[in-house]
Structure 1
Amino acid sequence: MKNKLFGFVIIAFIVSSCKTYISEPSHTNIKEIVSSPDAVLVDVRIPEQYLQGTAKGAINIPLAELQNNVEVLKNKKVVVFCNKGIQADQAMEILNRNGVEAYDGTTWKNVKAIQDETDKK
């Protein structure tokens, strides 16, 4: 009985520690994703910050509203970003947990710089 209980505890620990979300592949080049015509750029800052400046073509879904908009983003390549990357990290967790193919653009200035660099080519 003791061995069965121990085995159950071990299995429960292993299952609970597994991450079951899609993570950003390590070989993915964020520049390629941002430049991709099928990528959805999502600025997760509050509307006031978004209106002060953002990347070209970006939509605004504030972090506080992201969970409620997950279904709209499924089956798309989503690049999330904010001011410093902290909210983008949180957005990545939400999207990954919900099976969305998400990529961390870190900051809106980073994504905009990638766009500007691509436009020069």
Structure 2
Amino acid sequence: MKNQFFGLIIAASFILSACKTADTTQVFQTNIREVVNSSDATLIDVRIPEQYAEGTAKNAINIPLAEIPNNIEALKGKKVVVFCNKGIQADQALEILKKNGVEAYDGTSWKNVKAIQEEQSATKQ
């Protein structure tokens, strides 16, 4: 009898640990094309000034990754798209911004954001 009882407890604990609770937070999927092309988006290239000067997306401002924490207050209340060369620095900037309450989106690379802008321009013609 004791063995059956302990077996039931062990089985119940396995079943309960295998169950996942429903995630009650809603995840909103945002189309980055819509954000990049919205008139209220602030596009931020987080690369160093020398890289930014070599080419970037249209209307992008340069705030290097190291300067992002110093610009949090100025970015609050804005819809921000961050990008860099390959997305690594953009991911870091995104994390900093979101942790500080900034509505931020990952544009990945400046070439990606520029291509989205050019795609939008081509469809308007």
Normalized against structure 2, the TM-score is what? 0.76
SS of the residue aligned with 2:97? helix
Partner of 2:77: 75
Post-superposition offset of 1:26: 4.2
> Once the 2 structures are TM-superposed, how far is the Cα of residue 102 of structure 1 from its aligned partner?
0.2
**Aligned-pair distance for 1:27?**
1.7
Matched, 1:112 2:114: yes
Q: How many residues are treated as equivalent by the alignment?
A: 97
Q: Deviations 1:66-85 (Å, cap 9, x if unpaired)?
A: 00001111001000000010
Larger radius of gyration: 2
Structure 2, unmatched stretches of 5+, are 1-26
For 1:38, which of 34, 37, 40 is the aligned residue?
Answer: 40
In the alignment, what sits opposite 2:104?
102
Q: 2:87 and 2:102 mapped to 1: Cα distance?
A: 18
Alpha-carbon displacement from aligned partner over 1:66-119 (angstroms, at most 9, x marks no partner): 000011110010000000100000001100110000000000000000000000
Partner Cα distance (1:26, 1:81) in 2: 20
> What CA RMSD, in Å, does the superposition of the two structures yield over aligned residues?
0.7
Q: Which runs of 5+ in 1 are unaligned?
A: 1-24
| Structure 1 length-normalised TM | 0.79
What letter matches 1:51 in structure 2? A
* Identity value in percent: 73
Equivalent residue number for residue 53 of structure 1: 55
Between 1 and 2, higher relative CO (CA 8 Å, sep ≥ 6) is seen in 1
